Homo-oligomer: A and B are copies of this chain.
Amino acid sequence: MTEVRLREASFLILSALASEPRHGYGIIKDVQAQSDGAVVLRVGTLYGALDRLAGEGLIEFDHEEVVDSRLRRYYRLSAAGAGRLAQEAQRSARQAELALSRLATGNGLLA
């Protein structure tokens, strides 16, 4: 376990890129849509995380394009990023399942 765990924001960014390459603002919108508006990814978090994730090789620069005179910089998930995301998602799912089963096992804590 020297491996550093993914924070939630990083997880959501990788998840956003798992469906298709997206640009920064598109990632923010996807994360918001993904969670029914519950999770708002801050720009300060996003652009910092994008640099870091690219540095770790989990995402890659895809291409740039200009739409309505505005630059869009697209990123895609790398193979390493996909593997990492899959691993984290499985771990996360196991933890969630365990927590829910423990809560359900009549300890009277849940109404």
Asked if A99 meets B11 with Cβ closer than 8 Å, knowing A20-B107, A110-B86, the reply is yes
Asked if A77 meets B8 with Cβ closer than 8 Å, knowing A90-B100, A92-B96, A95-B34, the reply is no
Chain B proximity mask over A82-108: 1 for CB below 8 Å, otherwise 0: 110110111111011111101101010
Which segment, of A35-43, A46-54, A64-72, faces chain B?
Answer: A35-43
Number of interface residues of A (CB under 8 A): 42
Is A19 in contact with chain B by the CB < 8 A criterion? Answer: yes
Q: Are B18 and A91 in contact (CB-based, < 8 A)?
A: no
Q: How far is the CB of A8 from chain B (nearest CB, A)?
A: 6
Q: Which of B39, B83, B88, B93 makes the CB contact (< 8 A) with A1?
A: B39
Give A contacts to B, CB under 8 Å.
Answer: 1, 5, 7-8, 11-12, 14-15, 18-20, 34-35, 38-40, 77, 79, 81-83, 85-86, 88-93, 95-100, 102-103, 105, 107, 109-111
A-B contact pairs, 28 of them (CB 8 A): A1-B38, A1-B39, A7-B7, A11-B95, A14-B99, A15-B95, A18-B102, A18-B103, A18-B107, A18-B109, A19-B105, A19-B107, A34-B98, A35-B95, A38-B91, A79-B109, A81-B109, A82-B107, A82-B110, A85-B99, A85-B103, A89-B95, A89-B97, A89-B103, A90-B100, A92-B93, A93-B93, A93-B96
